A and B are shown apart, each in its own frame.
Chain A
Amino acid sequence: MTEDSSPRLGIVVAGSLNKGLDVRLDGSVSVEDIVVGRYVVISGKKQRFFGMLTDISLEVADPAIAFSPPDSADPFAAEVLAGTGTFGLAHILPLLSLGSAATLESGPQPVKTVPGHFSAVRLASQADVELVFGPEDEKRFFIGTPLDMETKICLDLEELVKRSNGIFGKSGTGKTFLTRLLLIGMLQKSKAVNLIFDMHNEYGWEGSSERGHKVKALKQLFPSKVAVFTLDEENSKARRVSTDFVVRIGYDELEPEDIALLRETLGLTEPAVEASYQLARRFGRNWLEKTLSLDDDQEIKDLLAELSIHEGTFQNLRRGLGVIRRLPFMVPQVTEKAVARILEYLGRGINVVLEFGRFRDVAAYVLVANILSRRVYDQYQKRMEEAMGADSARPQPLVITVEEAHKFLSSGVSSQTIFGTIAREMRKYNVTLLVIDQRPSGIDEEVLSQLGTKITCLLDNERDVDAVLAGVPGKSELKTVLSRLESRQQALIFGHAVPMPAPIKIREYGSADSYRSFVSEKDDAKKQAQKDIEELWG
């Protein structure tokens, strides 16, 4: 079978399930040829194991060799010693058991034991990798290739959208490209619809690459399946993006919970947030407008005395609310609620990208995302409960994409925001999150632990790495792999949607070929595009 198709690396000489296996490399194998992150297959006596190379070290059989090494002008001694007195030791993390020939059909299983002493270790062949990750099909989306290999690594998107997921990586490592790719995958291969809060206008019509050229985004590739909503019509027009709806937020849509979320951003004190709850209770739906329109000193004094709010606290809150009211998309009354339109589109299976235009500041983003998501959540919860009660069709799964996730999901606020709730329990209501962030350590641990699949590009802050890898078996080994990723186009993917942690080279995006591959992957998308063109030109 695939047993002997790739060269032998060495033999297992020691190790444990927890700490990984030590593999003594054969003398003929140069340590310089093997890199961390490569997949290997270990042929035990009864079963085969699939593992990942996580570390390589140089060893000497006799410490005296290190003390008086052979003369560098003596290649003979060096050649004799290579693989005998001096040898490479590879550290391998066993990840899956491929089973014996008899049990192969049940597919790869989590590893529960280790191969015996002196089991032969080989680099995994293309067939092995395919066996583990599965072929590209209706459910699986080709996300990238293993490092140094051409085999496709595919993500099971049906499985992926069943849980909340995270994409991490420091700035400039390709998070946006990866997210765009994943969204395309979801559009193609999962039954989920997406609501994307697009802070930097990257996902709707077109995005830009680091090198400055434009790349197509969702609407250009799947015109019939994507609607672009905007908060900033002028900016969208200037960028020549045709938008489907202009989102406005009414003052009455703001709730004290939103203020709590923005406490730090707006520089509010804890009592000021408390006061907002009291004022909302007092004034009802239009509390924001009423609070800001109070101008009679005596009236204010009486009110504050009645609610026992300190004068300074009130002023602090009013200043914060003033900032919110001045946001250009905030209006006293909205004729058509954005939430209704979003739900209508989502209901028709059309994905919604909300562009923020010029309103890139965090306050606007957090505010809008929270307000809209909360209402979408309410609706979904209602529909799901109705569907469960009547045993009828459940609403289509929804994936909400948020950037700068630590602003919503930090340990201080995650319990108060809708995103914390969704991350923790909304799987039951068919709503999950795709969180994108560059500082995962800022995200609440509990939320992070609920993420099903995590894809992380290079992170170099120790705390971020620890946060992302918390609770993953073989954490310290994966840490080595993660920190050795190239700063672009490479990522480590692990969790629910993949059978084992996988460092990948992310699939190419941005060339004409890559667009063609997305569209041709699903014929009906192509037909639909054709139909759209026909409709457009009559």
Chain B
Amino acid sequence: MSENLRVGEVIEASTIGFTAQCYELYEIPPLGSLVKTGDGDTALYAVVSGATTQGIEPGRRPVARGKDEASEEDIYRTSPQLKELLRSEFSALVVGSRQNGRVCHYLAPQPARIHAFVHRCSPEEIRDFSRDFGFLKILLASRFEVSAEELTAAALRQFAGVYSDRRAFLIRAGRELAGLLGGEYGRLRNILERIRE
């Protein structure tokens, strides 16, 4: 099953996150969605924290090609090489791991390996992972181009999708956030506004 959800391969890794290249141009997992590397008893869970699409050669910028084309799709149809010259990458923030079959909401002892396959998590895995909210601390402490609040809200929106009672899940998460952001009402409000149902 996880084969079907395979989205890419790790091309850069550190303890706190990794960057993966998508197998297909533009087939980037949504911001905030839960991905994993590894399989079985040991896996690394990460939340998609940003994505880029650019030319494969750093020095060569793509040029505009659509002046005489009727639609965007036509550009790619008439220039099929584009799919090879461009690539989509996404970065992911490690938010936990599975060790000996148990979900842990803290950083894994080892970073992901280069060329490790990256899979999107199945709904069951997401439910299993978000049974409690330990991962929120890591999300709230993240520093990316995407703000921590934006990322947290995106992740919660993604996770909520696998629950039949979305609202109940978000309320639970909100309460957890209210506890974590005790003295930071402004940040809490920012997130709540983004996950409001």
A-contact bits for B157-192, CB 8 A (1 contact / 0 none): 000000000010011001101110011111011001
Q: What B residues does A62 contact at CB under 8 A?
A: 182-185
Q: What A residues does B171 contact at CB under 8 A?
A: 76, 79-80
Chain B: which residue is nearest A85 at the CB level?
B178
Alpha-carbon distance between A85 and B192 when the two chains are bound, in angstroms: 13
Alpha-carbon distance between A62 and B178 when the two chains are bound, in angstroms: 10
* Interface flag for A27 (CB, 8 Å): yes
Alpha-carbon distance between A74 and B197 when the two chains are bound, in angstroms: 9
On whether the beta carbons of B174 and A76 are closer than 8 Å, the reply is: yes
On whether the beta carbons of A61 and B192 are closer than 8 Å, the reply is: no
Say yes or no: A76-B185 contact (C-beta < 8 A), given A81-B178, A84-B178, A85-B178.
no
**B: contact size bracket:** 10 to 19
Q: What B residues does A83 contact at CB under 8 A?
A: 175
On whether the beta carbons of A84 and B192 are closer than 8 Å, the reply is: no
Alpha-carbon distance between A76 and B178 when the two chains are bound, in angstroms: 13
Among B185, B188, B197, residue most surrounded by chain A Cβ atoms (within 10 Å): B185
Nearest CB on A from B179, distance (A): 6
The dominant DSSP class at the A interface is: loop
* Interface flag for A412 (CB, 8 Å): no
B-contact bits for A57-77, CB 8 A (1 contact / 0 none): 000011011001010001011
Q: What B residues does A27 contact at CB under 8 A?
A: 175
Chain B: which residue is nearest A27 at the CB level?
B175
On whether the beta carbons of A77 and B175 are closer than 8 Å, the reply is: no
Q: What B residues does A79 contact at CB under 8 A?
A: 171, 174
A-contact bits for B110-123, CB 8 A (1 contact / 0 none): 00000000000000
On whether the beta carbons of A77 and B192 are closer than 8 Å, the reply is: yes
Chain B: which residue is nearest A82 at the CB level?
B175
Q: What A residues does B192 contact at CB under 8 A?
A: 70, 76-77, 80
Nearest CB on B from A76, distance (A): 5
Q: What A residues does B182 contact at CB under 8 A?
A: 61-62, 85
Alpha-carbon distance between A70 and B188 when the two chains are bound, in angstroms: 11
* Interface flag for B102 (CB, 8 Å): no
Alpha-carbon distance between A80 and B188 when the two chains are bound, in angstroms: 10
**A: contact size bracket:** 10 to 19
User: Which residues 12-70 in A have Cβ within 8 Å of B in the complex?
Assistant: 27, 61-62, 64-65, 68, 70
Nearest CB on A from B173, distance (A): 9
Chain A: which residue is nearest B174 at the CB level?
A80
On whether the beta carbons of B197 and A77 are closer than 8 Å, the reply is: no
Nearest CB on B from A209, distance (A): 52
On whether the beta carbons of B197 and A85 are closer than 8 Å, the reply is: no
Nearest CB on B from A83, distance (A): 7
Chain B: which residue is nearest A83 at the CB level?
B175
Nearest CB on A from B195, distance (A): 8
* Interface flag for B143 (CB, 8 Å): no
* Interface flag for B196 (CB, 8 Å): yes
User: Which residues 420-436 in A have Cβ within 8 Å of B in the complex?
Assistant: none
On whether the beta carbons of A76 and B175 are closer than 8 Å, the reply is: no
Alpha-carbon distance between A76 and B168 when the two chains are bound, in angstroms: 10
Alpha-carbon distance between A529 and B67 when the two chains are bound, in angstroms: 114
Alpha-carbon distance between A260 and B163 when the two chains are bound, in angstroms: 85
Nearest CB on B from A510, distance (A): 51
On whether the beta carbons of A64 and B196 are closer than 8 Å, the reply is: no
Nearest CB on A from B176, distance (A): 8
Alpha-carbon distance between A76 and B177 when the two chains are bound, in angstroms: 13
On whether the beta carbons of B196 and A77 are closer than 8 Å, the reply is: yes
Alpha-carbon distance between A68 and B183 when the two chains are bound, in angstroms: 14
On whether the beta carbons of A85 and B188 are closer than 8 Å, the reply is: yes
Q: What A residues does B197 contact at CB under 8 A?
A: 76
Alpha-carbon distance between A61 and B196 when the two chains are bound, in angstroms: 21
Say yes or no: A76-B179 contact (C-beta < 8 A), given A65-B185, A85-B188.
no
Q: What A residues does B179 contact at CB under 8 A?
A: 84
Say yes or no: A85-B185 contact (C-beta < 8 A), given A80-B174, A80-B175.
yes
Q: What A residues does B196 contact at CB under 8 A?
A: 74, 76-77
Chain B: which residue is nearest A63 at the CB level?
B185
Nearest CB on B from A80, distance (A): 3
Alpha-carbon distance between A309 and B155 when the two chains are bound, in angstroms: 101
Nearest CB on A from B96, distance (A): 23
Among B178, B193, B197, residue most surrounded by chain A Cβ atoms (within 10 Å): B178
Nearest CB on A from B113, distance (A): 39
User: Which residues 436-462 in A have Cβ within 8 Å of B in the complex?
Assistant: none
Chain A: which residue is nearest B185 at the CB level?
A64
Chain A: which residue is nearest B186 at the CB level?
A64
Q: What B residues does A84 contact at CB under 8 A?
A: 175, 178-179
Alpha-carbon distance between A65 and B181 when the two chains are bound, in angstroms: 12
Nearest CB on B from A461, distance (A): 44
27 A-B pairs whose Cβ atoms sit less than 8 Å apart in the complex: A27-B175, A61-B178, A61-B182, A61-B183, A62-B185, A64-B185, A64-B186, A65-B185, A68-B185, A70-B189, A70-B192, A76-B167, A76-B170, A76-B171, A76-B174, A76-B192, A77-B189, A77-B196, A79-B174, A80-B171, A80-B177, A80-B192, A81-B178, A83-B175, A84-B178, A85-B178, A85-B185
Q: Which B positions have Cβ atoms within 8 angstroms of A?
A: 167, 170-171, 174-175, 177-179, 182-186, 188-189, 192-193, 196-197
Given contacts A68-B189, A70-B192, A74-B196, 6 further A-B contacts (CB under 8 A): A61-B182, A76-B196, A80-B178, A80-B192, A83-B175, A84-B179
Top 6 closest A-B pairs, CB basis?
Answer: A80-B174, A84-B178, A64-B185, A62-B185, A76-B196, A85-B178
